[in-house]
Every structure is written in C-alpha cells, then in structure tokens.
Amino acid sequence: MILQEKKIVDHELFTEIYQQYYKDIFRFIYSYIVNIKDTEDLVQQVFTKLYNHMYLFKNADENVKKWLFKVAMNEAKNNLNSYWKKHKIDCIELEQEPAKEMETDLAFCLKKLPKKYRLALYFYYYEGYSIKEIAKIMKVTESGIKTRLKRGKEKLKKEMGGD
C-alpha cells in the first residue's frame, strides 16, 4: 500500500480566494445552468476541488481565477450532461412565470440566449477577459469566439426589442 504525502493547506489563502472569487464563480455557473439550487451545489463542488488542490497555488492571482472558471465550466457541463438532468422536468421552473417587467431586463434576456453565446458574452463583458483568453478557457478558436460575440450581441439586441 502506497501512502500519499499529506498536502498542507494554507487556510488563510483558501479563505482569501474564496472571498475574492465566490461571487464571480456563482454568477458564471448560474449563467451557464440557470438554476439557483444547482448553482449553489456546483459552487460548493468547485471550491471543494480548490481546497483539495491548494498546493498548486501560492497566492490569489489571475491564474487561480482562470483555474476556478475552468473547473466551474467542467462541473456545469457535467451537471447538464448527467442522466438525471436529461430525464427530469424541473417543476419549480415550470411554476415560475417571468414577470412582464422583467422581460426587458438584461440578465433575463441573457438567460434566453443559447449557452455558447451567453458564455462568450459573460466572459467578455462581465469578467473582462480578452478574446484570446476566452478561446483558451472555452477551447474554441479566437475567430469562433468573435463570431459568438457578434451573433450573441445580435440575438440579445433582438431579444431586448431592437436598440
């Protein structure tokens, strides 16, 4: 039996990273799967993975944020591709009708966009990533990201009623 060396976790650094990036990761996952309860669970899973991999990081820099987004994207994809998600109907979402005044709200309209456009717009406008960085995170070519941003803006404009 091979014993693994126990990794020492810097709890202060973990707390700093958690406090600094929790809201960003929450918003990102929510924009991806559009379900509060699942988002809460997935955020917890992302930060559990961070805790288990703290030995990779020395400080709360931009590399940690990129790593968190990559893990968050993978967790959200796994969640959406799970058998359970594909074969159930979310009764809570069926009961909730959007309020008429919310139909022009940007966040509400973003939720209606296809995932590939919604994510590209989120990374570019909410997180401030460059097209090159987004392409690397989403594993798509830079021209593909440019196209998604252009089409996403067009769809968003149409969804919001013109201008």
Q: Which two tokens stand for residue 117?
A: 């456009």
Q: Given 96, 116, 134, which residue is the final one in a domain? A: 96
Domain boundary among 96, 113, 134: 96
Q: Which domain holds residue 74?
A: 8-96
Rounded to an integer, what is the distance from CA 81 to the centroid of its chain? 15
Same domain for 90 and 15: yes
Answer with the residue of higher pLDDT: 41 or 5.
Answer: 41
Summarize pLDDT for 61-94 with one digit per residue, the tens. Answer: 878 999 999 999 999 888 887 756 554 544 444 4
Residue that wins the pLDDT comparison between 48 and 36: 48
CATH number at residue 134: 1.10.10.10
- Predicted local confidence at residue 119, as pLDDT: 85
Domain termination site, one of 48, 66, 96: 96
Closest by Cα among 97, 30, 20 to 64: 20
Supply the pTM of this predicted model: 0.60
CB atoms within 10 A of CB 77: 13
How many other CB atoms are found less than 10 A from the CB of residue 140?
Answer: 16
How many structural domains compose the chain? 2
Least confident range from 17-26, 118-127, 140-149: namely 118-127
Let me know: does 27 contact 21? Beta carbons within 8 Å.
no
